[in-house]
Amino acid sequence: MRDLSKLPKAHLHLHFTGSMRVETLRELAAEHRVRVPSALVDDDPLRVPADERGWFRFQRLYDAARACVRGEADMRRLVDEAAADDAAEGSGRLEIQVDPTSYAPFVGGITPAVEIVLDAAKAASAAHGIEVAVVVAASRMRHPLDARTLARLAARYAGEGPGEVVGFGLSNDERHGDTAEFAAAFRIAHRAGLASVPHGGELLGPSHVREVVTALRPDRLGHGVRAGEDPRLLAELVADGVAFEVCPASNVGLGVYPALADVPLGSLVDAGAQVALGADDPLLFGSRLLDQYETARHVHGFSDPELADLARSSIRASRASSATKARLLAGVDEWLASPA
C-alpha cells in the first residue's frame, strides 16, 4: 500500500470556518473571550449517539465556532492553516467555500470580506505549494435576494487560479428554503463562468436532488450521496457529468448513515459517478481530507489503482487550469508507478 498523503488530489468540499484546527479555535476563543461549547474543543464534537447527531446540534456548534472568527487576522489565519493542512495531505488544489456574510460586520462589508479571503488564498498558495481557489456560497437560511447579491460579488472575481472565485454554492440546512428561488442567483454565477456547486442530496433524498438539478444546474453536487437511492436519477447525473463531492465523515457525523461502511461510496463509483472526496468540516467531524481516502481504503476496500482513480476524479472535477490538472494527474500516475 502506498502512502496516501503523497497521492496528489484536489479538495473540493471544505468550509472556511469548518476547516479550523481545534487549537486555533481554542486560541481565538480565549483571545476574543468567547465561550465555546466544550464539545467543540474536546476534539471529537460529533462523537455522540446517532440520534443526537442531527443538523441542529451541528448548526449550534458551527455558529459557536464562527463567533470566534472576528476580523481580518483571524480570517487570514484560517485560510493559511487550511492550505497548510491540505498541502500536507497531498492536496494540490483546494477550492474552499466561504459565505462572507458572517464575517462582513468585522471588516466593513461583504466585499472586503471576500477580498480578504481571496488575498489570503493567493498568499497561502504561494506559501504552501498548493493552489487555493474560492467558492462563494450563499445560505439557504437567508433571502434569495441576498444570494443574488453574493453571486454578483462572486462574479467580479471569477477566474480559475489561486485567489480567484471558481464557483458559487448554496449551503446550510437543505430542508430550509425553496431551492427554485435561488435559481436567479445561480444564473448570474453561471453567466460569469462560475461552477455551480450547491449542496444537495445529503439531508434529503432523490426528489430534492432533482429540484437542485432542475433549478441550479449543478456542475458538482455538494454530497449528492442520496441520489443513489434512485438509480435512474443517478444514471442521469452520471451521463450529464455532474460530479459528487462525497464527504463520508460528514455523512456519519450528521447521522445520515449510521457508520462509514454505510456511505454508498462504492456504489456511486461503480455507477460511473465522478467522485471527489472532501472533509466538509474537519473541526466538527474530527477528520480531514486524508482521512476520507483512508476510509475509502480501509472501510470500503479500495485498492491503490482505485484510490488513484478517486484522486483523478477530484482533479478533473476541480476548476483548475488544464495545465494544473495535467501536472496533478501526472503526479497521480507517478504515485501509482512508485513501489507499494
CA separation for the pair 193, 211 (Å, rounded): 22
Position 245 contacts Zn ion (CB under 5 A):
no
Q: Write the interaction track for Zn ion spanning residues 3-42; mark x where CB under 5 A is met and - where it is not.
A: ----------------------------------------
Cell of 74: 483571524
Strand partners, 312: none
Which phi and psi (to 5°) does residue 267 adopt? -70, -30
Task: Determine the size of the site formed for Zn ion (CB under 5 A).
Answer: 1
Burial class (CB in 10 A: 0-12, 13-18, 19+), 230: middle
CA separation for the pair 46, 205 (Å, rounded): 22
CB of 56 to Zn ion, least distance (A): 16
Grid cell 498523503 is found at 5
Nearer to Zn ion, 280 or 291 (CB): 280
Nearer to Zn ion, 113 or 225 (CB): 225
Tell me the residue type at 285: F
CB of 250 to Zn ion, least distance (A): 7
CB of 289 to Zn ion, least distance (A): 13
CA-wise closest residue to 275 among 330, 238, 235: 238
Q: 125 near 157, Cβ under 8 Å?
A: no
CB of 171 to Zn ion, least distance (A): 6
Of 89, 115, 202, 245, catalytic: 202
CB of 15 to Zn ion, least distance (A): 6
Nearer to Zn ion, 107 or 283 (CB): 283
- In angstroms, what CA-CA distances link 244 with 59, 65, 307? 23, 27, 15
Q: 268 near 244, Cβ under 8 Å?
A: yes
- Give the count of alpha carbons within 13 A of 188, CB side only: 21
Tell me whether residue 72 is one of the annotated catalytic residues: no
Residue whose C-beta lies closest to Zn ion: 280
CA-wise closest residue to 202 among 184, 179, 226: 226
Nearer to Zn ion, 162 or 253 (CB): 253
Site for Zn ion in 247-286 (CB under 5 A): 280
CB of 190 to Zn ion, least distance (A): 20
Nearer to Zn ion, 219 or 280 (CB): 280
Nearer to Zn ion, 287 or 324 (CB): 287
Measure the N-to-C terminal CA separation of the chain; round to a whole number of Å. 5
Catalytic positions: 202
- By the criterion CB under 5 A, which residues form the site for Zn ion? 280
